[in-house]
Structures are given as C-alpha cells and as structure tokens.
C-alpha cells in the first residue's frame, strides 16, 4: 500500500500553498511553481546565493537562513531576497598595508558595532561573526581571517545588522591581507609552480583529460589527503 504524502501549508509572497513535508525551502518554492532565476547556486550550502528570510506561524521573530538547507514547517511565511547589502570598499591590495588600522580605515562602520550578536545568530555557517568584527576593530587581521575562513558571503549577517556593517566584506579584506602579507609561504609552492611552468605534469594532465567522469571520480575519492594544519597567528 502506497504511503500517503503528508502536506504542510506555506505562504510565498503572502499566497498559501501546500507542499510535501520534508522539502527544503528552495524545493518547496519550486514545487509551488516558483522559478529560481536568481538566488540559486550550488544548492548544497556552499555558495550563499539562496539567502532567505521567513517567519513561523504564531512567532513574531524574523528568521534568516539558506533556502537550500532549511526544511519547511507548517505555517511558514517565505520571501525571496533579490539581493543583500553589498557596499564594498575600493582598494588595491598591492598598495595597502596590513597594519592594525587598515580594516577600520576601509570599513569605519565596524566602530558602530554594539555587540548585539545578531550577526552571529543569523549566520547559517554558525561562524562567530561578532567576534571577527571585534577582532577587525582591534586590528587583529589574523584572528579575523581565521574566524571568518568558512564565510560563504551570503550576506545574512549584514541584512540583520542594526549598525549597517557589511561583515562579510570586512572579513574578505582580512583574509586577503592575511594571505598576501601575514601568512607563512606555503611549503614547496614556488618549486611546484616552477615544475608546472616547465611542463612536468603535461603528459599526466593529457591522460586525465581522456578519462571518463566516473574514472575521475574514483581517482578523486582515492587520493591522498594531507592532514589539516591550524592557521598560524601573528605571534607564531
């Protein structure tokens, strides 16, 4: 006997729809007939393109999350976001310095942070957003880069911030500064780049290009993976 599918009520742009229980917000909206022209990318929680806000029935709070990760609940009120705030400072990474004033000079709004932690609560990656903003305010570029390393640039932190801080752009600058000026040079990187330029791997690459997707997948899954190392700090 075929099991009957349980349906739940959701509201999209104020209109009621009934969709199967267990769908993500993204799949539920598509089930209801909405097309994702914008706001859909990897569909796996990595790109941050599908930022969404919603309310639950009987709950005054406004929730923010990724539509590809969050499961619909009965009585959800959903909206699509055309974009999130993205005012970005203009800079030439080759001409700026990695000192304790750089981040606050390019993003002075971080000084308005009231430590409400709304940004951290809104982050779908569960990053310590407020902590990396405070690190940026102190000029601790390495700490800001470390705490924001997994940021996917979805913009939900900025969307909810009462101080109008664009956290993810601050973090991006911190990581760029850290990578260019503060991080230790990767071991053997110059040697490997030279080998590539000299054509050492050309024959092997040509062989790989002739393989099927399934063969490449097996090679990828069987590869040797180096253990992760902790990000060094300025004091190391």
Please state, in angstroms and rounded to a whole number, the distance separating the CA atoms of residues 164 and 162.
5
Burial classification of residue 139, based on how many CB atoms lie within 10 Å of its CB (0-12 exposed, 13-18 middle, 19 or more buried): middle
**Better-scored residue on pLDDT, 99 or 87:** 99
Please state, in angstroms and rounded to a whole number, the distance separating the CA atoms of residues 19 and 98.
51
Mean per-residue pLDDT for 120-124? 92
* pLDDT computed for residue 187 by the predictor: 78
What are 16's strand-pairing partners?
A: 11
With bands split at pLDDT 50, 70 and 90, how would you rate the model's confidence at 44?
Answer: confident
Going along the chain from its start, the domains and CATH numbers come out as: 7-78 (3.10.20.740), 102-182 (1.10.1060.10)
Share of the chain above pLDDT 70, in %: 93
* pLDDT computed for residue 40 by the predictor: 82
* DSSP E strands, the chain: 7-12, 15-20, 51-55, 63-66, 76-80
**Better-scored residue on pLDDT, 186 or 78:** 78
Mean per-residue pLDDT for 133-150? 97
Distant-in-sequence contacts of 178-183, Cβ < 8 A, 24+ apart: 178/98, 178/141, 178/142, 178/144, 178/145, 179/145, 180/93, 180/98, 181/97, 181/98, 182/98, 182/141, 182/142, 182/145, 182/234, 183/231, 183/232
Is the pLDDT confidence value at 234 over 50?
A: no
Mean per-residue pLDDT for 14-36? 92
171-203, pLDDT tens digit by residue? Answer: 999 999 999 999 988 878 888 999 999 999 999
Is the pLDDT confidence value at 236 over 70?
A: no
């Amino acid at each position: 006997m075929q099991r009957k599918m349980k349906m739940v009520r959701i509201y999209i742009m104020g209109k009621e729809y009934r969709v199967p229980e267990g769908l993500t917000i993204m799949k539920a909206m598509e089930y209801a007939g909405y097309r994702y022209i914008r706001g859909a990318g990897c569909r796996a929680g990595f790109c941050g393109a599908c930022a969404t806000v919603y309310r639950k029935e009987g709950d005054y709070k406004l929730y923010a999350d990724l539509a590809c990760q969050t499961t619909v609940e009965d009585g959800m009120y959903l909206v699509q976001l055309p974009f999130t705030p993205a005012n970005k400072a203009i800079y030439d990474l080759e001409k700026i310095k990695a000192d304790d004033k750089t981040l606050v000079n390019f993003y002075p709004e971080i000084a308005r942070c009231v430590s409400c932690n709304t940004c951290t609560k809104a982050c779908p990656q569960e990053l310590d957003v407020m902590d990396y903003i405070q690190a940026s305010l102190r000029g601790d570029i390495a700490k800001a880069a470390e705490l924001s390393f997994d940021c996917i640039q979805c913009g939900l932190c900025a969307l909810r911030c009462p101080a109008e801080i664009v956290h993810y752009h601050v973090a991006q600058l911190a990581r760029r500064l850290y990578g260019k000026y503060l991080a230790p040079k990767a071991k053997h990187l110059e040697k490997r780049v030279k080998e590539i330029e000299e054509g050492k791997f050309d024959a092997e690459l040509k062989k790989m290009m002739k393989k099927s997707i399934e063969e490449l997948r097996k090679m990828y899954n069987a590869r040797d993976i180096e253990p992760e190392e902790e990000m060094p700090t300025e004091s190391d």
